[in-house]
Structure 1
């Protein structure tokens, strides 16, 4: 079940986010583990029109997703970026699909025109999930540096209106 993320969720959200930087996963470019305090600061910025949601099973947070500002440039105010993170013990169960649906519905209701998703090319499961809802538009070759290695970044988009 989805609900709005609160500051009380920051620890669970950071734990799930940090799983994405494990060796061999590299789903994010951050290399230092995120702290509870950092996720609280992030949550302070994620109110409408850029909400964050947690997904719970039996009152346990097993994933989270959000809309974020795509660019600081004013001409992109109708564009939002999506993020999705699922606990490693709950991946491959359709939760990512539910998160895409939740973010698309929320973005549509908030009046966004376009959604963008950026995924590390090595994260094949996330790309496969995103392509069910988004269209791939570009691969930025060697755009992301992780542990002194360059990685490709896949950009996908969805027009809402």
Structure 2
């Protein structure tokens, strides 16, 4: 798998990968409405250099993506990023997610981030295991963080401190 920055032409594939989780799986996002190609195109174009979106590509086809977004708007949090990662269902469990997440950490390290964080549905054991294998630790649980399909979902908070960027 090759990892590169996302470009506008990736928008349809990124939407399709994400929408599979929204529509079919219901185990990784509280989102209930599918994203459009245009929405994803605007997202890619609007993220900027400091908030990378990486794609994993095999034989010319995008099989997954990982991104970093601002954690909070306050100045003191500029070095903290909130990450997401999604893989096409046919490529899970084969090490591609780990390669993509490791690449994201490397890019964020070069950009000066000192911490990456995310929230994972407590029953999404594959994502929790992936994060653990990439050096993230579970630091707590947001109980009943949101409701999806009429049921309350707890979210596990994960973080990875990037030691080399601490003052």
TM bracket (short chain): over 0.9
Report the counterpart of residue 103 of structure 1 in structure 2: 104
- Measured against aligned partners, the alpha-carbon deviations of 1:93-119 in whole angstroms (never above 9, x if no partner) come to 101110121011111100111111221
Counterparts of 1:13-24 in structure 2, within 5 Å, are 13-24=14-25
For residue 3 of structure 2, what is the aligned residue in structure 1?
Answer: 2
CA distance in 2, matches of 1:148, 1:73: 33
- Structure 2-normalised TM-score? 0.92
User: CA shift at 1:15, angstroms?
Assistant: 0.2
State the SS of the aligned residue for 2:90. coil
Is 1:154 equivalent to 2:156 in the alignment?
A: yes
Structure 2: segments with no counterpart, 5+ residues = none
Could you tell me how far apart the structure 2 residues matched to 1:85 and 1:12 are? Answer: 11
The one of 134, 139, 142 equivalent to 2:141 is 139
Secondary structure of 1:64's partner? strand
1:77 correspondence with 2:78: yes
Q: Which whole-Å CA distance do the structure 2 matches of 1:7 and 1:145 have between them? A: 32
Q: Deviations over 1:59-114 (max 9, x none)?
A: 01110111111112222111011111000111111011101210111111001111
Measure how far apart 1:52 and its partner are. 0.5
Measured after TM superposition, the shift of residue 23 of structure 1 is 4.3
Q: Which is richer in helix?
A: 2
Output the CA distance in 2 between the equivalents of 1:45 and 1:121.
Answer: 30
Contact 1:27 1:122 in 2 (8 A): no
Aligned to 2:57: 56
Give the alignment's TM-score, normalised by structure 1: 0.95
* Count of aligned pairs between the two proteins: 161
